[in-house]
Amino acid sequence: MAKRLSRHRWIFGILLALVLLVLCFYDLDFSQLWQTLTKIRFTYLIPAFLLGMLKVFFTAMRWKMLIDKRKDISVRRIYSVYSFGQLVNISLPALTGQAARVIILNKTENLPKTFGATTILMEATFDGLCLILLLTVSSFFFTFPGWITRYVFILGLVLLALIAAYTLILINRRGLTYLGKKKIRRRFPRFYKKLEKLAKSFNSGIESLTSLRHISIVFMYSCLMWICSVGVVVFLIAAFDEAFGLEVPYWMAMILVSITAFFTTVPITPGNVGTFQWIVIGILKQVYGGDVTKEVAVGFSIILHFLNLLPVWITGLFFLFRDHFGVKEIRKESLKEQFPEGNGNGDEDNQKSDAEKNHKTESA
């Protein structure tokens, strides 16, 4: 079942990517596109690439701080797990890579999967806060369409609800534990055992919110990560400005980063191929119209996408071969996490307990 759903999702992602690429490259002069790419000052791409590498590192360090309250993991190990997880994430559509991170963390550091998933939810919360901040600053330079403003408002409400939920859980942990023992354990003892394990893992996942130091450091790494993203676009704008004299203002980098991040958070196509180009080309054409040719817009989108993916490819592949991650096994378990088959097929604890029971029976 999991394989079939994954295959269907993979086929859908590839077909959607092909459709979007056809829309982006339709009526495109490829010889002119090649001339456009050869005119770019590639010296500007070196600092852009280095900022992309720093972005991966800062994001991994942020994850380390979110885990730090539960377990102190070395920088090298967390960098390895994060990099490989992101490599899986850009290789497959949807959130398989995030599930891979959870599974690797469980296997290498013996941390519960619920705890790992909670830290990733915390990452998304901080990213959402930074994204809203970036969109707010960008709104002083650019008037966003009404539908984007509405989506940002909805995102803000979701983030407020999440933060309120985190706060209520942290404040009322004792009361919730008492309520569970009194009301749920008596009526549903088996369900309560599973719920208790999940609750403990979730609580430890949001434990970093109880420390002002941890919150400050996590927010600092989040800001550094987004600053690196904007910096990559700034250097790419400089490369195109010098080559074609477009005089694109550097505040445009904030708009490109914020809008592309808003629509590509969950990869619909493998590596966001097609969706990324379509969004970047649409933004450039809407803002500058005929001042930016289609060849320049397409070339800009291709190089920017390559700069975003290259650091992940390099770090992910490096740690893949260095730490000998089992790609097939991790991918299979990631799919099970997303598409659980039956009741408890993805529950390792249940599988282990069943195996132990069978072993005891055979011994008897």
Q: Give the pLDDT confidence of 74-95 residue by residue, as tens digits.
A: 999 999 989 888 887 777 665 5
Higher-confidence position of 213 and 9: 213
Longest dimension (CA), the chain: 83
Tokens for 293, please give them. 């040719």
How much is the pTM?
0.79
Higher-confidence position of 195 and 321: 321
Q: Is the pLDDT of residue 350 over 50?
A: no
Q: Is the pLDDT of residue 7 over 70?
A: no
How many residues does the structure list for the chain?
364
Top-ranked range on mean pLDDT: pick from 14-23, 44-53, 351-360: 44-53
Residue 356 pLDDT:
42
Type of residue numbered 351: Q
Residue 16's pLDDT band (boundaries 50, 70, 90)? Answer: confident
Q: Give the pLDDT confidence of 238-278 residue by residue, as tens digits.
A: 888 776 666 677 788 888 888 888 777 766 777 788 888 88
343 CB neighbour count, 10 Å cutoff? 8
CA distance 37 to 41: 9
Residue 84 pLDDT:
86
CA distances 213 to 169, 202, 218, 262, Å, are: 20, 20, 9, 28
Q: Which residue has the tokens 């996590």?
A: 218
- 88 burial via Cβ count (<10 Å: 0-12, 13-18, 19+): buried
Tokens for 129, please give them. 């806060």
Average pLDDT value for residue range 203-217: 82
Percent of the chain's residues with pLDDT above 70: 74
Q: Is the pLDDT of residue 332 over 80?
A: no
Higher-confidence position of 215 and 266: 215
Residue 325 belongs to what H/E stretch? none
Q: Give the pLDDT confidence of 96-116 residue by residue, as tens digits.
A: 567 778 888 888 888 888 888
CA distance 37 to 245: 15
Beta strands in the chain (DSSP E): none
CA distance 89 to 107: 18
For 269, the 3-state DSSP assignment is coil
Q: Give the pLDDT confidence of 157-179 residue by residue, as tens digits.
A: 988 888 888 888 777 766 656 55
Residue 226 pLDDT:
93
CA distance 183 to 193: 13
CA distance 62 to 225: 9
Residue 306 pLDDT:
92
Percent of the chain's residues with pLDDT above 90: 16
Residue 4's pLDDT band (boundaries 50, 70, 90)? Answer: low
Residue 310 pLDDT:
92
Q: 10-30 burial by CB neighbour count: b if 16+ within 10 A, else e?
A: beebeebbeebbeebeeeeee
Tokens for 143, please give them. 């008037």
Q: Which residue has the tokens 């592949």?
A: 317
CA distance 227 to 108: 31
Tokens for 245, please give them. 């004299």
Average pLDDT value for residue range 317-324: 85
